[in-house]
Amino acid sequence: MGLFAPTAAYLGARVGTRAAITLSVLLIGTFGIARGIAPSAALVVLLTWPIGVGMGLAGALVPVAVKENFPLRPAGPTGVYTTGVQVGSAVSAALAVPIALWYGGWRTSLIAFSVVTIAMAGVWLLLTRDEPTHDRPSAAPPRLPWHSRIAWLLVAIFSLMAFTYYGINAWLPDSYVERGWGETAAGSLLATLNLVAIPAALIVPWLSDRVGTRRRWLLAMTLVFLIGMSGVVLAPEAAYAWAVALGLANGAMFALVLTLPLDLEDEPRRVGALVGMMLGLGYTISAASPFVLGAIRDATGSFTAPLWIVTAFSGLLVVAAAALPRAREVRVQS
C-alpha cells in the first residue's frame, strides 16, 4: 500500500479517476480469488502483494473522486468512505470464521469476500455512470510535491496517526493481559475502540464541514487521542473510558486527515499527487510500528515502554496538527 499509493496520481491522470478506481478494486478482487485457490502458502503470500497494490491505489484515488464531485464540503463524503472502511473491516472480521466453518475452510472465506469485491466494482461503475469528470484523463500526470513543506507536514501527521493506530491495535489487548486481564476481556477493549470509531468517522467530518474549521477539529481529536493514551499509561483501571476516547479520535482523525489535501489544493490531479505522497510515505513508515513496539516489549520485558512511546508520538501528533495552516491560506507547490 505504501509503495504504490504515489503511483495512483499517474494512473488517474492517464485513464481517469472512475476507470482507475475500477481497475484498483478489480485488482483486489481478482487476486483475492487467486489467493483463495493458491495451492501453497508461498503463493498465498505472493498473491497478497497485488491486493496491497490495489488497496494502495484505491485509497489514494477515492479522495480525488471526492474532490471532483464534492469540492465545497468534502469532509462529509470522505467520512462516508472511511466509515465504509470501518464497517467493511468489522463485517468481514465477524463473518470470516463462520463462513469458513460453514463450508470449505479459510479458502471459502477469501473467495467469498473477493467475489463481493468484484461485484462492488460493478456497483461503482453503475453509480458513477453520470459523472463525466471521472472519465476525463488529465493532460499530463502531476508531479509529487517533494519540495513542499506542507506536503511533508501532512506526511508527518499521517505517519504519526498510523503509527499510533497500528501500535494500539497490535498491542493494547496484550498490554492488559500482562496486567492480569483475561484474553476475552482484553480483546473487548479493541472491539470497543473500533466500534466507537465507526460513527466517529462519519459524524465528526460531517460536523467539520459545518461547524468551526477542519484544523480545529483535527487538533481537538489529536488532544482526545493523547488524553486516551495518557490514561492507558497512568490510570489503566479506567480502560473502557480510554478505549472510547481512542476510538472516537482514531475514527475521526482518519477521515479528517484524508480531507486535508482537498482543502489545500483546488485541482483534483494535484490532490491525487498530494494524497499519494502522504499515504505512500505514511503507510511505509507506519508499517514498522507493530514490529518496533514488539521489539521494545521484548527488550524491556513489559508493555510499559511501548505504551509510553505511543503516548509520546501522540504528543508529537498534537504538535504537528497545531502547525497546520488554515484552509485556503496556502497551496502546495510541486
Mind listing the pLDDT tens digit for each residue in 263-279? 888 777 788 889 989 99
Cell of 310: 505511543
Residues lower than pLDDT 70 in the chain: 131-141, 327-334
**Please, where are the H alpha helices in 134-182?**
149-178
Mean pLDDT of all residues belonging to the chain: 89
Q: What is the pLDDT of residue 137?
A: 62
* Cα–Cα distance measured from residue 334 to residue 144, given in angstroms and rounded to the nearest whole number: 6
Q: Which amino acid is at 42?
A: A
Q: What is the pLDDT of residues 9-21, one digit of tens each?
A: 888 888 888 999 9
pLDDT score at 327: 56
pLDDT in the model for residue 123: 93
Q: Which three cell numbers stand for residue 61?
A: 484515488
pLDDT for 139 equals 60
Start-to-end CA distance of the chain, whole Å, equals: 22
Instruction: Name residue, grid cell 516489549.
Output: 297
What is the distance between the alpha carbons of residues 143 and 163, in angstroms, rounded to a whole number? 26
Distance CA 26, CA 172 (A): 34
The residues spanned by each domain of the chain are 5-135, 149-322
The answer to whether 167 touches 310, Cβ cutoff 8 Å, is yes
Cβ atoms of residues 291 and 228 within 8 Å = no
What's the pTM? 0.85
Cell numbers describing residue 88:
467493511
Structure confidence at residue 97 (pLDDT): 83
Percentage of residues in the chain having pLDDT higher than 70: 94
Cα-based distances in Å from 103 to 64, 97, 98, 110, 147? 40, 10, 9, 12, 53
The predicted-structure confidence for 295-313, as pLDDT tens digits, reads as follows 999 999 999 999 999 999 9
Assigned C-alpha cell, 112: 467469498
pLDDT at 75: 85
- pLDDT at position 209 is 85
Q: CA–CA separation, 10 vs 259, rounded Å? A: 20
- Domain covering 149-322, topology: Growth Hormone; Chain: A; (1.20.1250)
